[in-house]
Amino acid sequence: MKISVGSTNPTKVNAVQVIFANATVFGHDVDSHVSSQPFSDEETMVGAINRANQCANSKSNVFGIGLEGGVMYIKEQLYLCNWGALVTPDGKTYVASGARVLLPKEIEEELKHGVELGDIMDQYAQKTGVSKKEGAIGIFTNNRLSRQDMFEQVVTLLKGQWEHWEK
Ligand SMILES: O=P(O)(O)OP(=O)(O)OP(=O)(O)OC[C@H]1O[C@@H](n2cnc3c(O)ncnc32)[C@H](O)[C@@H]1O
Ligand SMILES: [Mg+2]
C-alpha cells in the first residue's frame, strides 16, 4: 500500500506512518485551495479533501491523505479544529475530524488580524516551530496530547471507516 500525504509537516506525515505502519508513506506539499488559516469547520474540511484528492491523483494506485488545521466558532468562542480526508485510488473519500480545544481571546484577536496560528503559537509559547512539534493542542493541554497524537486519532478514524466500508 502506498500513501501520499499532502504535507511535509512531520506531525502529519509521522501520524500517517504510525497508523499505517506497513505502508510506504511519503509527504509532499500540495495546495489546500483554502486560506492558509482556515476559519470554519467547512473550510478546514474542504482543505483536507483538496489535499487528499491531489495526492490520490498524483500517481496511479496511491491513496491520498490530507490533514488540515484550522479554527472555528461555537457561539462566540473560537476553537482549534482539525480535519482529515482519505481518498482511495478509485476515488472514494472518507473524512473525519479531530479533537478541539478552546483558544484564548488574545489568540483570537491576533488571528483576526491575519496572523497564522503557527506564528502566534511560537510567540505565545516562546518557542520555535510549535506547529511542527507539540502544536497548539499540546501547549493548551499541558502536553497531554500532541499535534501528532491528535492527527494519529484522525488517521485512525479514516482508516477505520475505510476498513468498515471496503474490507
Ligand atoms: O505545511 P502544512 O501541511 O500546511 O502544515 P501547517 O503547519 O501549515 O498546518 P495547516 O496548514 O494544517 O494549519 C493551518 C494553520 O494553522 C496553524 N495550526 C494549526 N494547528 C496548529 C497547532 O496545533 N499548532 C500550531 N499551529 C497550528 C498552522 O501553523 C497554520 O498556520
Ligand atoms: Mg499550512
**Which CATH number describes the domain made up of 2-103+147-166?**
3.90.950.10
- At 101, is the pLDDT very low, low, confident or very high (cuts 50, 70, 90)? very high
Domain borders along the chain are 2-103+147-166
Q: How far is CA 105 from CA 25, 38, 73, 77, 110, in A?
A: 38, 17, 12, 8, 9
- At 120, is the pLDDT very low, low, confident or very high (cuts 50, 70, 90)? very high
Complex confidence, ipTM: 0.94
Residue with C-alpha cell 489535499?
Answer: 51
Ligand 1 center to 18 CA (angstroms): 20
What average pLDDT does the chain have? 97
Rounded (5°) CA angle 160-29-86: 15
- At 16, is the pLDDT very low, low, confident or very high (cuts 50, 70, 90)? very high
Question: Residue 80: in which H helix or E strand, if any?
Answer: strand 77-87
Helix (H, G, I), strand (E, B) or coil at 101: strand
The binding-site residues of ligand 1, defined as CB within 6 angstroms of any ligand atom, are 7, 9, 12, 37, 68-70, 80, 116-118, 121, 130-131, 135-137, 147
